[in-house]
A = this chain, B = another copy of it.
Amino acid sequence: MQPNPQRFLNSLHQLRSIGAVGKGVVRPAYTDKDIEARKWLAAQFAEAGLTPYFDPVGNLFGLAGDGPSLLMGSHSDTQPEGGWLDGAYGVMVALEIARAAKEAGGPDISVVSFQDEEGRYGVTTGSTVWAGGRSLEEADTLTASDGTSYAEGRAKMADLVSGDFLDPARFTGFIEAHIEQGPYLDTSGEHVGVVTSIVGIRDMRITLTGQSNHAGTTPMHLRRDAFQGLSEFNQRLNDRLRNVVLPETVWTIGHVSVHPNGSSIVPGRVMFSMQWRDGDSGRLAAMEAIIRETVAEVAEDRGLEVEFGQLLGLEPVAMDPRLQQALAHAAEAEAPGKWRRMPSGALHDTTSVARHMPAAMLFVPSINGVSHNFDEDTREEDLVVGLNVLARAVAAL
């Protein structure tokens, strides 16, 4: 089978143009631009001889025949300010492999673009619901930061979707290609990474409530300042986690919302996100215990109330050995000595899909490790090496 690099790059840039803002793309799940992109993709799938199928949450499949097929793909929704390759690379490279396979009379390759991988309503909600990791009824109650529910989000695709989910058993395996989104391949000058496992993730909203008050007349020692509580928690947590983590373990406070948020008012409430990731479930649990204990301690010291939101999480997942081996052989053939095996620090739809079938991932480099950012980019040469490694691996399966 012979993929066409120019046709692949042309398609990738066409997708980029939908929701383009400068070098980046704004196409969050269920927004008009996201839906426009999915309609365009469905037409591309049809043109390639695949049958488009939108499932009840808006995951878009391009099905190759009715029999068993290998599934490839990723997602086409983006972060609120997203890069042009995150997700899009994996969908478009899959489409090109499916086209090349059809042209060569090769194996049946189906393609997918999962919905809401970026977690506007949670964590990889589209693939999670499809894989049965969360019921649709439960997912429908999730809310985005703008207050809309998942049910309202997916209602925007009501005229496109089918009533039933596809049976995962129709697929023989899943391969997702993705940009690394970290600095390792770019720093080492390697062209591809064969993923060994995907780290586990925990995510929780925490609310600290004190008392909002006049910033001129409330003495420091009488304040119940929720922002000060957050700041002290953060410092203590950083100190404590260093004793239990590995160099690749990460933790992040990415969302902070202060109330009432005026310069002359002592903050009475702060809601923030606490997220942590590691390849070991035991370590994730140990971190959770430290986080809960540290928040509670700071809250007690400062007369604040704590509310812990629901703990969202995904377990670490090992990649399928046979698919991994096929990717490794192909990588060595296409980029001798210029690839590595590596864990994925980012969560991917592969985590959900791996519940039902053998699954694997291939990474291409991210320039300077930048992602979730308009500046996200990858050298064209590396985009094409990734395409060729995938084609070679799939042909050898």
Contacts and interface: CB of A to CB of B under 8 A. Distances in A.
Interface of A: 79-81, 118-119, 145, 180-184, 199, 201, 203, 205, 211-222, 225, 227-228, 230-232, 234-235, 238, 247-258, 260-268, 273, 275, 277, 344-347, 366, 369-373
26 contacts: A119-B264, A182-B214, A201-B216, A203-B264, A205-B263, A212-B372, A213-B371, A214-B345, A215-B254, A216-B277, A216-B344, A216-B346, A217-B369, A225-B252, A227-B254, A228-B234, A228-B238, A252-B263, A252-B266, A254-B267, A255-B258, A255-B263, A256-B256, A256-B261, A262-B273, A264-B372
Contacts of A369: 213, 217-218, 222
A219 B251 CA distance: 9
Contact of A181 (B212, B217, B225, B251): B217
Contacts of A227: 253-254, 256
Contact of A79 (B181, B238, B250, B265): B265
Contacts of A257: 261
Given A255-B261, A256-B256, A261-B256, A215 B250 contact: yes
What is the interface of chain A mostly: helix, strand, loop, or mixed? loop
Given A217-B344, A227-B254, A232-B235, 20 more contacts: A79-B262, A79-B265, A181-B214, A182-B217, A182-B218, A182-B219, A184-B219, A199-B216, A211-B370, A211-B373, A212-B372, A214-B345, A215-B275, A252-B266, A253-B267, A254-B258, A255-B261, A255-B262, A256-B267, A262-B273
Tallying the copies of this chain within the complex gives 2
